[in-house]
Chains A and B, each alone.
Chain A
Amino acid sequence: MAATDRDGSALAALVHAALALPILALPAKAGAAAVGEVGVTLLGYKERGLMKITEPVIWGRVQFAEVWEVQASAAVDIITGASPQLVSNALGKPVQTITGASISDRRNTGDLKVTRRFGDLALSASRTLSKEEDYHSKAFGLEARLDLNQRNTTIAAGYGKSNDRILSADDPNLNERRDTREYLAGVTQVISPTSLVQSTITWARGTGWYNDPYKLTFTFFDAGLPILAPDRRPDHRDTLAWLTRYRAHFPAAHGTLQADYRFYRDDWGIRAHTLEVAWQQELNERWALRPALRYYTQDAADFYSPTVPRPQPPVQSSDQRLGAWGGVSPSLRATWRLDRLTLEATLGYVHNARNLRFGGGGADAFETLRAWYGIVGATHSF
């Protein structure tokens, strides 16, 4: 009898949660004055021979009075290790060189998002602040979501603005601005009782300082003096990112397919594709496993060059993140649930290389990057 009550209560909770779809992420609970989650997450990331990042995150979200939702998070990034600063062809072909002492940086960031529902319409306002020794960022976002078609369709529109300040640990005189305006349009569509899709496009128009104050190119020529050139990029960047996410549950297999694809392009000449496919397998009531594979490929920026061309152009960067390359990243996540507590652990590997670029033709100077990361987290729902 107790089991039947529990099943009935679980079913009721599920139906109430379903009624809230697709606009609210939190499952609704009948009669609850407030429903929410709080969680802590810890990221550990380690590149072979380069950087190490530790990031603790604390977050929470709560729904109350049936129409309000508040979400907030705070994180600290602790970065140590070496960062590539110089690309030089002193030994023949251009290669990355680690120069200077090991870096140590700390970034504090926090965000707050408040959502109010008005029937089928939900309006959100968000604020994000981020501060590190050489970079400050303040951003806000406004978003509207409207449920249509008996909540089988949700359309979204958004506007955001960020004001960033770029400083340098090496140059006390550097204090430059970068301002970005962002626009969002999207649609979420329930396809069937077991599948849904969301497609979102964001455009961003940025102006200001994009140069990386820590990157240099040191080029030797057959004749004449070598040139040591600082990183010089255009003073504007217009980007478009189109993200489509698909979810399909297979009840007989107790598994869910999660597929995300993002197309990206900007006026620097970069085109990038990101595809991630995951399968979340429920093992029993408590355990689930989620193997995933992520693939990323990008073209080079028009002004990317590992050596300084002659004549020297007004914009040129040897930063390999602007070169042509590709990367694969397999990961495995284990989830354990007990009543209101969920524990999660993810282990992933990142392998970025020039020969992983889709269609070949990666940048010769691209230095292969190998990294491991682990994410552990605990969530308590109430």
Chain B
Amino acid sequence: MKRTRFAILLVAAATLAGCVAVQPYQRGYLAREDMALEANPGTMKALEKTYSAKEAASGGASVGGGGCGCN
């Protein structure tokens, strides 16, 4: 757990240290669809179904998604 906390702090520090203030008019590229953090909801659901039923790991992106009796 200590190593996890250390890694979280390291990533946070490295990320914030490398940032510059990006003005609204400079965000054209950030608004591109391929810069979205997630695919559209339909594709996300399909991918989640493909992997989550076979893997022990899950979660990380959101809360309140509920469970399933995937075999």
Contacts and interface: CB of A to CB of B under 8 A. Distances in A.
Interface of A: 11, 14-15, 17-22, 25, 27, 37, 39-43, 45, 51, 53, 55, 57-59, 61, 71, 73, 75, 77, 79, 83, 103, 105, 107, 109, 111, 126-130, 132, 134-135, 137-143, 149-152, 158-162, 164, 166, 178, 180, 182-184, 187-194, 196-202, 204, 212, 214, 239-245, 247, 249, 251, 256, 258, 262-266, 268, 270, 272, 274, 280, 282, 288, 290, 294, 296, 298, 301, 321-322, 327, 329, 344, 346, 348, 350, 352, 369, 371, 373, 375, 377, 379
A242 B60 CA distance: 5
A194 B29 contact: yes
B68 A137 contact: yes
Given A17-B31, A71-B41, A350-B50, A166 B57 contact: no
Given A241-B58, A262-B60, A137 B42 contact: no
A206 to B, nearest CB: 9
B31 A160 contact: no
B10 to A, nearest CB: 11
B36 A25 contact: yes
Given A73-B41, A242-B4, A256-B32, A270 B57 contact: yes
A14 B31 CA distance: 7
Nearest to B36: A25
B52 to A, nearest CB: 10
Contacts of B4: 240, 242, 263, 265
Contacts of B51: 294, 296, 329, 350
A264 B57 contact: yes
Contacts of A204: 59
Contacts of B38: 25
B57 A298 contact: yes
A128 to B, nearest CB: 4
A59 B40 contact: yes
A130 B71 contact: no
A272 B57 contact: yes
23 contacts: A15-B27, A21-B31, A41-B40, A45-B49, A77-B49, A109-B66, A152-B21, A162-B67, A166-B69, A192-B20, A193-B26, A193-B27, A197-B15, A200-B60, A240-B4, A243-B61, A244-B11, A247-B37, A258-B34, A265-B4, A272-B55, A329-B51, A369-B54
A139 B59 contact: no
Contact of B65 (A83, A160, A296): A160
A105 to B, nearest CB: 8
Contacts of A142: 64
A57 B65 contact: no
B11 to A, nearest CB: 6
Most A CB contacts (10 A, CB to CB) among B4, B58, B60 go to: B60
Contacts of A41: 40, 42-43, 45-46
A160 B25 CA distance: 36
A258 B32 CA distance: 13
A193 B29 contact: yes
A43 B69 contact: no
A288 B50 contact: no
Contacts of B23: 150
Contact of B55 (A183, A212, A296): A296
B24 A15 contact: yes
A126 B64 contact: yes
Nearest to B71: A83
Given A21-B27, A187-B12, A249 B32 contact: yes
